[in-house]
Amino acid sequence: MRDGVELPSYRGDIINSPDFTAEARIPDPQRMIKAHARSAMTMNFTRALIDGGFADVHHLEYWNLGWVGHSPLADDYQRMVQSVGDAVQFMETLSGGPVGNLNRVDFHTSHEALLLPYEAAQTRQVPRQWGWFNLATHFPWIGMRTAALDGAHVEYMRGLRNPIAVKIGPSVAPDQLLRLIEALNPADEPGHLTLIHRMGAGKIAQALPPLLEAVRREGRRVLWVCDPMHGNTENSASGYKTRRFENIRQEIEHAFDMHRACGTRLGGIHLELTGEDVTECTGGARELTDGDLQRAYRSTVDPRLNYEQSLEAAMCIVRKSTQLRTSRA
């Protein structure tokens, strides 16, 4: 609703347009075809980068991105990159030859299986494999609002052979989570189901341990990932949807601590980020404020970490995981 005019909501570029006109908000099925084409182009570009040696740890000059020199964390970043190079050189000196396959990486994609017509249209059986696979992505996931046990999204996801994930928030009760696990992974297949917790920095200490304990007690084999972004979304005084970097950092650190205390393992972090110099999340090394948001706010959906904040989050993960390994030793 704007100035007395009411229109259908913007549902994402794959459905309609954010422009506030009646025509722009009409769902257009052709957008699904455009989305698929652009996804394919992005994947082809990524494959070309990998095949060209972009991820080769023997050539660390590829990692010296121009923006790093302008970041307050530049020195930490360069030391980390240099330590990787030194470790590779040391191991190859000892072995007298290349160690493993260090010139490329396995790259996988993931997206939310939100629009079921798009997902179902790309769900197929494949040669020499049993079952059905979503071929639009390697790793589909569903969110809290589409994780109803009697809902269409859970019904769709439980029939897939892909590794799958579901997001869980502070409102999820242990018995509800266990029923969801049973529906999505009844055979308790290792690696098939990932639980992505998104609690918020102020709620994770109370909400997460009962879920970790319930899953551990039942012996269910799941993978755990922390999403420190979505539980920390708020509206700024200037009206922008934003996230505070300090809350993101705190939730990451709390997640490590909660898993260690429960005897479970945190297997990954889900971040929303861009390599551009946007101002969508406040805080970080440059201490962005609400007043900075309007300077370079480009997202139409969720506020993302910019390149410096992304680097700072990566440093936080490295420091925290190193600290935990050291304390165990």
The full DSSP string for 68-80 is GGGSTTHHHHHHH
Question: What pLDDT is recorded for position 329?
Answer: 61
- By the 8 A CB rule, do 214 and 277 touch? no
Question: What pLDDT is recorded for position 52?
Answer: 78
Q: Is residue 177 part of a domain?
A: yes
Q: Is residue 148 part of a domain?
A: no
| Residue 43 structure tokens | 């994947």
Cα distance between residue 161 and residue 263, in whole Å = 28
Instruction: Find the CATH number of the domain harbouring 212.
Output: 3.20.20.70
SS3 135: coil
Cα distance between residue 35 and residue 14, in whole Å = 6
Q: Is residue 118 part of a domain?
A: no
Question: What pLDDT is recorded for position 68?
Answer: 59
Q: Is residue 317 part of a domain?
A: yes
Q: Is residue 109 part of a domain?
A: no
Residues in a beta bridge with 233? 243
Q: Which residue has the tokens 């920390």?
A: 232
Question: What pLDDT is recorded for position 83?
Answer: 78
Number of domains in the chain: 1
| Residue 307 structure tokens | 């390149």
- By the 8 A CB rule, do 240 and 297 touch? yes
User: What domain range includes position 247?
Assistant: 163-328
**Residue length, the chain?**
329
Question: What pLDDT is recorded for position 70?
Answer: 59
Question: What pLDDT is recorded for position 66?
Answer: 60
Q: Could you give the C-alpha distances from 326 to 85, 321, 322, 323, in angstroms and in order?
A: 22, 9, 6, 5
Q: pLDDT tens, position by position, for the chain (329 residues)?
A: 999 999 999 999 999 999 999 999 999 999 999 999 999 999 999 989 888 777 777 666 566 566 555 566 677 777 777 777 777 777 777 777 666 666 667 889 999 999 999 999 999 999 999 999 999 999 999 998 999 999 999 999 999 999 999 999 999 999 999 999 999 999 999 999 999 999 999 999 999 999 999 999 999 999 999 999 999 999 999 899 999 999 999 999 999 999 999 999 999 999 999 988 899 999 998 889 999 999 999 998 899 999 889 988 988 898 898 888 877 66
Q: Is residue 246 part of a domain?
A: yes
First vs last C-alpha separation in the chain: 58
Q: Is residue 324 part of a domain?
A: yes
SS3 280: coil
Q: Is residue 267 part of a domain?
A: yes
Question: What pLDDT is recorded for position 60?
Answer: 65
| Residue 131 structure tokens | 């079952």
